[in-house]
Amino acid sequence: MNANTQTRAAPGAPSRLSPKLVLGVFLVLLAAAPLVLPEFYVTLLNYVGLSALVALGLVLLTGVGGLTSFGQAAFVGLGGYTTAWLTTAQDLPGWLAFIGSSPWFTLVAGLVITATVAVILGSVTLKLSGHFLPLGTMAWGISLYFLFGNMEFLGGHGGLSGIPPVSLFGYELVNNGQFYYLVWCFVLAALFTTRNLLDSREGRAIRALKGGMVMAESMGVDTSRARMVIFVIAALHACAAGWLYAHLQRFVNPTPFGLHIGIEYLFMAVVGGAGQVWGALVGAGVITVLKQWLQDILPKVFGSAGNFEVIIFGVMMVIVLQRARDGLWPLIAGLVPVREAQKTIDPAATPLVKKPQPPMGETILEAKDVTRKFGGLVANNNMSLSVKAGEILALIGPNGAGKSTMFNQLSGVDTPTSGDVLFRGKSVAGHSSREIAGLGMSRTFQHVRLLPKMTVLENVAIGAHRRGSKGVLPAAWRLDRDEEARLLREAAVQVERVGLKDFMFAEAGSLALGQQRILEIARALCSDPCLLLLDEPAAGLRLKEKQALAELLRRLKSEGMAVLIVEHDMDFVMSLVDRVVVMEFGEKIAEGLPAEIQSNPAVLEAYLGGV
């Protein structure tokens, strides 16, 4: 989070304000607002709060998770109409009438209905690649809108009125000033839980969805589940806003749940800064106030009534996306110099449980006659190799020999056309990379895949995803702190082990390429593997760093780790590994000890083109 503030903050500089102080001032202002502001502004703040709740869901969904939804207004409608119908309908069957007897029961009912609808819509649309999802959300956004307007029992386009007020401990919230506190309690709770969630094991998985799905899957993160989780959370936020809306207005009709309002919610998230929880608040405030203001003045300017504010909103969005894609929050955050709170690592936390390492010499990975064809091209032909515990095997070959394809067959990113891959005696060909990660195989990538805005520590902690178990709810309410401390401790241990201790809290994207490769090794180690697959780990390293890497790999080997390494640096390979497999044109042309390989005529032919 707060990528921007972090880069400018020199931690601990005396001129910076403590985050607790800033938050405290904000809360005091918020609490005092209805006491000092005129009624009109209190009402406006109520609507800002409602919108912020929806926009917050979108921050999680779109800004953090990279899933765009234009249909959130429909979920607001589900929340609003559920409570409206249940609390106003006259002759309901007994159990429905009981639910309708209190708005608090109908809130729960609305959340249950919304979650169900979201799960159904999500399971249909979330698997789709980028642009189909937003188009799908538009479609169901419109469908639900027309359903609200055409259902006889929901009052058609006229809507439902006479919704009772919410009462809290027998005290009815009837005016705007009283309702204000209810709205903002919801908003603050949502802000608090969303921020907590993002700063947790599940949160790291969610933050990996945007731009890190392949990496996250091979670190054992179930990305489809993570997508569903944020989709449902965003829908539930919207539903709660709908419930509040219905009881604030005491009346609902389909208009505020249409697609255009859904688009407006997305605008709020984008204008505010879709990657930041506080951006939702800023965006909701800016758009709501601006809309109010424009609706006042534009009809006077143009001389007729109509929704002319959409012209300004549209133009504003285009400009924001062209000029300041991170939204307004980073600009505002720059004005208030808040000190960045650094994560603490608790060295006393109980270490995570380690899987028992297989005995030295056990065959860990075995590829049998693996063939992979892409159409007519045979990228791998009858490749066989095996790696034992406590052994380093190098896979070398000229460019285009099929090493990376082979790597993908072994790690579950791709499926062999024929042949089999055995991991500790079990066939894993065709299994997902997530399952394979769970068995104890961990890898790095030839083209570094990490989350550049997250710290080194957090990137490494993603590797430990499967070693924790606390889910979304404990994370949202901070019941996961024990486990989180253990995960972070493990991550810190691995960061130190690979020699990146000085960069623990730096953004991963700020590291040199060689260091980023090392970071990937730390992340792989964090998953407690018995086999490491390293794709060109020494590329971009300086001599000293290479020596340190070789030292680390030797140590891992002596602890019983099996390592398969693809590498071009022959000095590095030949002085480090136990055995070498050489590939050319998709086939194995030689296998043996480094010294044998160096004098093998076929290998010399492949590398030097005949001697």
Within 418-457, the residues that bind other proteins by CB under 8 A are 432-433
Identity of the residue, 99 or 142, whose beta carbon is nearer to other proteins in the bound complex: 142
| Shortest distance in whole angstroms from residue 60 CB to other proteins | 15
Based on the shown chain and the rule CB under 8 A, indicate whether residue 225 belongs to the binding site for other proteins. no
Applying the rule CB under 8 A, the residues between 57 and 76 that interact with other proteins are 62, 66, 68, 70
8 A C-beta contact, residue 246 and residue 163: yes
Question: To 5 degrees, how large is the angle CA 269–CA 275–CA 278?
Answer: 70
List all residues 6 or more positions away from 383 whose beta carbon is below 8 Å from its beta carbon. Answer: 367, 369, 370, 371, 402, 406, 419, 583, 586, 587, 588
Which of 202, 309, 483, 535 lies at the binding interface for other proteins (CB under 8 A)? 309
Confirm or reject binding of residue 307 to other proteins (CB under 8 A): yes
Least distance in angstroms from the C-beta of 371 to other proteins: 19
- Cα(464)–Cα(284) distance, rounded to whole angstroms? 36
E strands within 37-170? 160-161, 166-168
**Which residues have a Cβ under 8 Å from the Cβ of 545 and sit 6 or more positions away?**
514, 515, 518
**401, two tokens:** 């020999």
Considering only residues 15, 304, 344, 599, which one is a binding residue for other proteins as defined by CB under 8 A? 304
- Binder of other proteins out of 20, 325, 426, 501 (CB under 8 A): 325
3-22 positions binding other proteins, by CB under 8 A: none
Binder to other proteins among 127, 355, 501, 555 (CB under 8 A)?
Answer: 127
509 sits near other proteins (criterion: CB under 8 A): no
Least gap, CB of 330 to other proteins (angstroms): 17
Instruction: Please tell me whether residue 322 binds other proteins under the rule CB under 8 A.
Output: yes
CB-based contacts of 190, cutoff 8 Å, min separation 6:
53, 56, 57, 237, 240
Q: Which is nearer to other proteins, 91 or 152 (CB)?
A: 152
What phi-psi label fits residue 354: left (phi over 0), alpha (psi between -120 and 50 degrees) or beta? beta
Closest approach, Cβ 232 to other proteins, in A, equals 17
Please give the Cα distance from 229 to 67 (Å, whole number). 12
- Give me the sign of the Cα torsion angle 543, 548, 551, 552: negative
# chain residues binding other proteins, by CB under 8 A: 54
| Widest Cα–Cα separation across the chain | 94
Residue 464's CB: how many other CB atoms inside 10 A?
25
Give the tokens for residue 530.
């018995």
Q: Does 308 bind other proteins (CB under 8 A)?
A: yes
Q: CB of 291: closest distance to other proteins in angstroms? A: 12
Does position 211 interact with other proteins (CB under 8 A)? The reply is yes
Asked if residues 19 and 341 have their Cβ atoms less than 8 Å apart, the reply is yes
Pick between residue 138 and residue 338 the one whose CB is nearest to other proteins: 138
| Region of 35-43, 127-135, 471-479, 582-590 interacting with other proteins (CB under 8 A) | 127-135
**Would you tell me which residues interact with other proteins (CB under 8 A)?**
62, 66, 68, 70, 121, 124-125, 127-132, 134-136, 138-140, 142-143, 146-147, 150, 210-211, 213-214, 217, 223, 260, 263, 266-267, 270, 302, 304, 306-311, 313-318, 321-322, 325, 432-433
